Chain A
Amino acid sequence: MLGLKIAAVFFMSAAIGVLYRVPRRLLFYDGMVGVLSWLVVYTTLQSGGNIILADFLGSIAIGIIAELLARLLRKPATIFIIPGFIPLVPGGEAYTTIRFLVEGRYAEGVAMGMKTLMIGGAIAFGIFVSSTVYRLVINYNVENSTEHVRKN
């Protein structure tokens, strides 16, 4: 079952890459970014972590891997970030919110909506934090060496 899910995440990230017209030979990397971040989320959840913490850690992993790959392959980091975080998007929670609201169960709907927003915020801030920290590290290294490093 876990193997099937890992394969599903891989193909999902690669397919998102196709939808956003990522260069063909980078689709494999997209799939790998998706699988790695999803594994971080899965491991955190299995060891009893909160879903918000799990998604935060997962998107930090995305940010770091994507910035490293961008530097290594000399491509925009966006190419690796977008397919990486789509498997973490709380689609199920968002849909459940809508279903509650349509059924007239407003209190449950608002509660589920807050959960969706929290998960979304965790993903956004995970990418935010890892990209910012990565940039700080790079700028620090640039200031401490005479070599000119261009931003990716």
Chain B
Amino acid sequence: MTEQPNIEMIKQMSGGDVSFEEKMIEIIQRELPKEINLYHEHLKNADYLTAAKDVHKLKHKISILGLEKSYKLAVDYENQLKENKSSLSDAFEDILKNMLGYINTF
């Protein structure tokens, strides 16, 4: 079953500061597609080491959106890419779609 992203962690950090919550969502809406595009580009060019760095960066947003299981998969995938393998790419793609779909509901 697909994990449901949430903004609980952002709410915890905000301590009730709604403007911070809005700012964070706006940043993720803007920054996430750019990071995903870079990752796709590097993966397409089989530049696995750079793609691993992209996954590393994306891990932060995965954890901020409360996706614990997805985070674990991202860790494994990052390590896999460092070894020039990419068999977890489809599963990782699902995580990215899940995040994008969620963040665009705001």
Do chains A and B stick together as partners?
no
Which A residues are closer than 8 A to B by beta carbons?
none
